[in-house]
């Protein structure tokens, strides 16, 4: 069983419709997906219909802009209650480039109150210039009440992946996998520039290697 828990649609900065994403995921042999559009859940009304028709498990998700030590970074929120007012306000107030960017501690608190799981997105991107200090950084960020890390990600080096997995295991945190697919145009650009495949389902990790407690 394989999953891709970080995909974008045309409802944020992706190029593919919810229906196209669902069909590609099915063709790739995925069993479950999560659409993590930036600061919005607008795609989900159509996603539920598309995934149900294809027999795909759909996990609620969103990618949220947050701040940690004056550094802008991304937090993935999973399995939260769409009707939670505080969560809706968090998404609405951050969904524009000119919108607010809350401290990660505040965002984690709101996500947890909405019965969701907050996950650090693409650590290999966020701290690509600080990988030697990644273990120390993760120790420092642990107190923000994060629920896990996107350990398996196209840009993550083997060292980053190993550090993140070890940290999650030591602290009983979730271990997730996502490809951050944005569509064909972005996929070609990223592959030509960095040689990294960001296509939906391109990072196939057996679910037995993940820890999706509270997510799946």
CATH number for the domain that contains residue 152: 3.20.20.140
195, part of any domain = yes
* pLDDT above 70: percentage of residues in the chain: 93
- Torsion sign (Cα): 57, 75, 171, 158: positive
pLDDT tens by residue, 119-159:
999 998 888 777 789 999 999 999 999 999 999 999 899 99
216, part of any domain = no
Token readout for 165 is: 């997995």
Domain that residue 79 falls in? 3-209
How wide is the angle at C-alpha 70 spanned by C-alphas 164 and 144, nearest 5°? 50
User: Cβ atoms within 10 A of the Cβ of 188, count?
Assistant: 12
* Number of structural domains the chain divides into: 1
Euclidean distance between CA atoms 50 and 117, whole angstroms: 24
186, part of any domain = yes
91, part of any domain = yes
Task: Indicate whether 18 pLDDT > 80.
Answer: yes
Taking residues 183-189, report their average pLDDT.
62
215, part of any domain = no
60, part of any domain = yes
Range with lowest mean pLDDT among 84-88, 117-121, 182-186:
182-186
Give the pLDDT band (50/70/90) at residue 186: low
| pLDDT confidence of residue 33 | 98
202, part of any domain = yes
What's the predicted TM-score (pTM) here?
Answer: 0.93
Dump the DSSP string for 155-185. T--HHHHHHHHHHHHHHT-EEEE---B--HH
């Amino acid at each position: 069983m394989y999953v891709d828990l970080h995909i974008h649609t045309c409802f944020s900065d992706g190029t593919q419709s919810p229906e196209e994403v669902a069909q590609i995921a099915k063709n790739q042999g995925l069993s479950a997906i999560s659409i993590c559009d930036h600061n919005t859940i607008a795609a989900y009304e159509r996603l539920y219909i598309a995934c149900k028709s294809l027999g795909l498990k759909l996990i609620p998700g969103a990618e949220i802009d947050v701040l940690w030590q004056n550094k802008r970074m991304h937090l993935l929120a999973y399995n939260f209650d769409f009707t939670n007012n505080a969560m809706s306000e968090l998404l609405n107030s951050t969904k524009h480039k000119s919108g607010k960017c809350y401290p990660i501690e505040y965002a984690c608190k709101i996500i947890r109150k909405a019965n969701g799981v907050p996950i650090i997105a693409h650590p290999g991107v966020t701290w690509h210039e600080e990988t030697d200090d990644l273990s120390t950084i993760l120790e420092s960020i642990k107190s923000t009440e994060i629920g896990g890390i996107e350990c398996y990600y196209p840009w993550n080096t083997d060292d980053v992946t190993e550090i993140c997995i070890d940290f999650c295991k030591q602290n009983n945190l979730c271990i997730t996998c996502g490809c951050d697919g944005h569509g064909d145009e972005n996929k070609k650009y990223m592959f030509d520039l960095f040689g990294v495949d960001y296509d939906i389902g391109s990072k196939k990790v057996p679910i037995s290697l993940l820890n999706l407690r509270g997510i799946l």
